[in-house]
Amino acid sequence: MSKTIKNWFDSGTPWIWLNAAAVSLSLIMVFGLLIMIAVRGMGHFWPSPVIEFDYTLPGKASQRVVGEINETAEVSLEVLHEAGIEIEYDKPWVTRHLIKTGNRDVLGSDFRWLLAPYMSKQHLPQDIVVLERREWGNFYGYLKSIKQNGQIVSNDTRSWDELTERLNRVEEIQEQIRDIEKHKIGSINYELEQLRLDRRQLELNNNKKPQALNRIKSAEDVFKQQFSELQTELASLYQEINRDQLVAEIMDGKQIEIPLSKIVRAYKPNDMSVLQRTGVYLSRAWEFISDEPREANTEGGIFPAIFGTVMMVIIMSILVTPFGVVTAVYMREYAKQGAVIRIIRIAVNNLAGVPSIVYGIFGLGFFVYFLGGNIDQLFYPEALPAPTFGTPGILWSSLTLAILTVPVVIVATEEGLSRIPRAIREGSLALGATKAETLWRTVLPMATPAMMTGLILAVARAAGEVAPLMLVGVVKLAPSLPLDGDFPFLHLERKFMHLGFHIYDVGFQSPNVEASRPLVYATALLLVIIIIFLNLAAIWIRNNLREKYKALEN
């Protein structure tokens, strides 16, 4: 028996099964993590039913509570007693629910932990209304009437249809206001700032020619006239959007008046079909992807963070590929192989293990303060003391991550160059090609799959980095995207938002932890999807290149 076991071990079969088990366990853990993130993140957008019940603790008055059951947990009686909650219960564990009651502007907080045994008369009122607001979070209550300029125009069963129509009108006006404030007025402010810098430049050059000053003055007058017209139009739109209000009753019987301009979405969660719920779900999910954040990043969308992450990765890829490829080509094709090259290879491999925050400190000191400060002195003196490139921005973030990931590209490219048969190089030289022509037309094309492999690894690491970015460009909220319609269109000096930092900010810096927790999962899922998408695109390009040059390698 022992000999049979020994032969079985000697055959290597146990190690094959052990490796298979390890791979299977890893896959289960990875897919389990992704499924958990997806369920918790995407489930947040589904409109949950809103319950109404009476909550009565022993010796205290009964309260009417309205809200969503957000979470359920078991808590021991000892923990409750330590918290000062004295209750008698025949079991050692008590079920409690985290109820999202909303109405933070009235109640002070929009989440409450309540004990299940003291929740009575639970039911799902069909006429309960959920209002998603631009400020103060969700509102839960009963619609009583609709007002126009302070006068009641509807207080009967037709109020809901009237509310829907007026909310559609408010949304159309909101789009016009957003277009004017963000695009038209934003462009005018940008042009006025450029004219101010032009005037300052003339002053620094002691250029007091009336012709140049008059040109700037004429352009400023035109933009100021346009700004005044847009301000008048905005005042009219704000008057229109603030015309309507609604009156709703909350759970303690108070009636609250809410301007419709403050409402993003309204629905009756207990009186909706599956199709209607799906419509609300898709609307909220699309808002999360395409809109800007609000309420300290705990509500709204994360489009600026998506855009900033993708833009930074693209710029980083454009910067890191030439540096990594040129370095690998020199070390493999031109440098004399000896002790110096071996030391350089060891240094490159060690750079891959340096903590990322060290790269962030280097980027802040060298790129931002030294390089950016000198660029400001040479090319943007009219803007000083306000820095242009001497402050963290997307360019310095991309360069910092390029340095962080360049060892990966160097190693992968050099490995690809080493796998190209020597006979191909010699055949090209024998046909009369120079070394540079051989390298450019034969060797590098065959090494492109290896270059893409290095780029894939670089993108996978760079897209998830957060620590260095906190020092060299990423911010909690960026008012302007790095890419817009104002010349020169790509503004490399601007700060930007990043999905990784957004997860950190919402998860650990948010004043409303319960509200932000589902967004952490949703944002993490989106970051994983973006990284997978970028990697799949690079893998597809690599596979096409590999097939293209496969015959030549053979």
Residue 545, domain member (yes or no): yes
| Shared-domain flag, residues 102 and 227 | no
| Shared-domain flag, residues 516 and 389 | yes
| Shared-domain flag, residues 118 and 150 | no
- What pLDDT is recorded for position 428? 84
| Shared-domain flag, residues 181 and 86 | no
Range(s) of the domain holding residue 254: 143-282
Residue 32, domain member (yes or no): no
Amino acid at 433: A
Residue 321, domain member (yes or no): yes
| Shared-domain flag, residues 390 and 536 | yes
Q: CA-CA distance, 423 to 401, in Å (whole number)?
A: 37
Rg (CA), the chain: 31
Q: What is the mean pLDDT of residues 69-98?
A: 78
Pairing of strands 263-267, 128-133: antiparallel
Among the ranges given (20-34, 81-95, 429-443), the one the predictor scored with the smallest mean pLDDT: 81-95
Q: What is the mean pLDDT of residues 163-170?
A: 91
Q: What is the mean pLDDT of residues 504-531?
A: 85
| Shared-domain flag, residues 518 and 384 | yes
Residue 432, domain member (yes or no): no
Residue 469 has pLDDT above 70, yes or no: yes
Q: CA-CA distance, 332 to 324, in Å (whole number)?
A: 12
| Shared-domain flag, residues 161 and 271 | yes
Residue 271, domain member (yes or no): yes
| Shared-domain flag, residues 332 and 214 | no
- What pLDDT is recorded for position 235? 93
Measured from the Cβ of residue 516, the count of other Cβ atoms closer than 10 Å reads: 21
- What pLDDT is recorded for position 200? 87
| Shared-domain flag, residues 117 and 185 | no
Find, among 241, 199, 188, 439, the residue nearest to 332 by Cα.
439
**331-377 pLDDT, tens per residue?**
888 888 888 888 888 888 888 788 899 999 999 999 999 999 999 99
Report the predicted TM-score, pTM, of the whole model to 2 decimal places: 0.88
Could you give the residue ranges of the DSSP H alpha helices within 330-371? 339-351, 356-362
- What pLDDT is recorded for position 1? 54
Residue 87, domain member (yes or no): yes
Residue 377, domain member (yes or no): yes
User: Band of the pLDDT at 459, cuts 50, 70, 90?
Assistant: confident
- What pLDDT is recorded for position 117? 85
Find, among 501, 507, 499, the residue nearest to 530 by Cα.
499
| Shared-domain flag, residues 203 and 69 | no
User: Band of the pLDDT at 552, cuts 50, 70, 90?
Assistant: low
Residue 554 has pLDDT above 70, yes or no: no
Counting the structural domains of the chain, the total is 3
- What pLDDT is recorded for position 284? 92
Q: CA-CA distance, 31 to 28, in Å (whole number)?
A: 5
| Shared-domain flag, residues 157 and 101 | no
To the nearest whole number, what is the mean pLDDT of the chain? 87
Q: What is the mean pLDDT of residues 96-123?
A: 88
Task: Choose the most confident range, by mean pLDDT, from 201-210, 252-261, 345-354.
Answer: 252-261
Residue with tokens 């891959």: 352
Residue 140 has pLDDT above 90, yes or no: yes
User: Band of the pLDDT at 551, cuts 50, 70, 90?
Assistant: low
Residue 358, domain member (yes or no): yes
| Shared-domain flag, residues 309 and 273 | no
